[in-house]
Amino acid sequence: MLKVTIDLEAIRHNYHVLKSESGVEVMPVVKADAYSHGIERVAGTLFAEGARTFGVGTVDEGVLLRKSLPQATIYSLLGPLGLDDYKNLIIFGIKPVIHSWDQLTTLAECLTLKDQLRIGLKFDTGMSRLGFKPEACGRLVEFFRVNPALNPDMICSHLAFADNPDMGHQARQQLEVLNSVCEAFNQSGYKHKRSLANSAAILNFQQSLGDLARPGIALYGGNPFVNTAIAEKGRRLKQAMHVSAPVLSVHQLPKGQGISYGLTFTAPRDMRVAIIGCGYADNYARSLSNKSWMLFDGHRLPVLGRVCMQLTAVDVSSVPEISFGDQVFVLGGPGSGCIDVHELAGWWKTISYEVFCLLGKNEKKYINF
């Protein structure tokens, strides 16, 4: 029963903050349904603000976005994952970011003599997740000479420590490796855009900006430097997602009485409680039991007892005006009591990315078109 509200003005604001900070072309990352903010609405909003290149996760996401933004440049950051993906790259004009020889050779086999496809190449510069090894440059150059239908127009990598101010040396090492790869392709006559900077690097690692910056979490209002000495660098970002749920019941809880499964909370005094229509079926995690807070009319309401499948109890002793049908915020909300995504993530023992991705799977509405 959670209701998700996405403030498109916040997303526009964040895009312009990141565009101003970077000074280079910005490729909004809208993978995973724009971190569950809604890929078509988010990308459409940013296209109207001047964004022309977008990063999706899968080719299927690229196909979906192509239908709503026929003029956009779209990179599939995971590249093709199945045979249909290889065909759709050509049909829908999506640029795959290729990270393995299997992908590259299969793609070449799928092309006809008349096909021409621009692609991105991903290199592993130190994260050890996906990507070609830097020493593969020579072999890759030879491959492209034999397969002229494929043309690499972006070379990228992924930073492992951009959001950790104490690990700047690791980020610099990765940048040096990527620069050496890019230089090898330049010398071989393959002109391309260099892309390394994510949200954190845009705000704090200007050397990495290259030609194409790829912000993700910051677009949606997540501060990559929260709880660090440089948290101020993300101060201007605005959280775009707000999530609320209805009050289903309000009743008294006498002193000494437990509540919810296992009676893990016992009232230390006579209390008034509200039962809120949300739980782990709505992706409001059970791990938030007895440790999270909700918001109503500027008042923080502690969660009491275990979070259930579709119900959660909160203490409303301080808000006598609350009643059936009122909306209580589990994320965001108006005023100074706004529940910050990083705050909720801390209670949840996770990160802002997961909070957005999970809660955003509920029904969404948009404001400030």
The domain in which residue 24 lies consists of 7-234
Rounded-to-integer distance, Cα 342 and Cα 218, Å: 12
Rounded-to-integer distance, Cα 31 and Cα 169, Å: 28
Per-residue pLDDT of the chain in tens (369 residues, 90 and over written 9): 899 999 999 999 999 999 999 999 999 999 999 999 999 999 999 999 999 999 999 999 999 999 999 999 999 999 999 999 999 999 999 999 999 999 999 999 999 868 899 999 999 999 999 999 999 999 999 999 999 999 999 999 999 999 999 899 999 999 999 999 999 999 999 999 999 999 999 999 999 999 999 999 999 999 999 999 999 999 999 999 999 999 999 999 999 999 999 999 999 999 999 999 999 999 999 999 999 999 999 999 999 999 999 999 999 999 999 999 999 999 999 988 999 999 999 999 999 999 999 999 999 999 999
Phi, psi of 328 (to 5 degrees): -115, 135
Q: 240 and 5 in contact (C-beta within 8 Å)?
A: no
**Dihedral sign computed on CA atoms, order 199, 56, 68, 94:** positive
Does a structural domain hold residue 225? yes
Tokens 């660090």 correspond to 228
Say yes or no: 228 and 248 in one domain.
no
Say yes or no: 147 and 190 in one domain.
yes
Rounded-to-integer distance, Cα 77 and Cα 303, Å: 39
Say yes or no: 202 and 285 in one domain.
no
Does a structural domain hold residue 1? no
| Helix, strand, or coil (residue 294) | strand
Does a structural domain hold residue 185? yes
Q: 196 and 149 in contact (C-beta within 8 Å)?
A: no
Which residue type occupies 67?
A: K
Does a structural domain hold residue 70? yes
Is beta strand 212-213 parallel, antiparallel or unpaired with respect to 193-195? unpaired
Domain count, the chain: 2
Tokens 């529940």 correspond to 339
**Dihedral sign computed on CA atoms, order 28, 32, 35, 38:** positive
Catalytic residue (one of 238, 261, 353, 364): 261
Q: Is-catalytic flag, 220? A: no
* Last residue of one domain, picked from the residues 211, 234, 257: 234
Say yes or no: 122 and 146 in one domain.
yes
Say yes or no: 133 and 208 in one domain.
yes
Which of 250, 245, 219 has its CA nearest to residue 234?
219
Which of 346, 341, 355, 244 has its CA nearest to residue 296?
244
Rounded-to-integer distance, Cα 238 and Cα 215, Å: 14
Catalytic residue (one of 3, 19, 31, 95): 31
Say yes or no: 201 and 279 in one domain.
no
The CATH number covering residue 259 comes to: 2.40.37.10
Say yes or no: 64 and 176 in one domain.
yes
**Dihedral sign computed on CA atoms, order 223, 57, 117, 41:** negative
Is beta strand 193-195 parallel, antiparallel or unpaired with respect to 363-367? unpaired
Q: Is-catalytic flag, 291? A: no
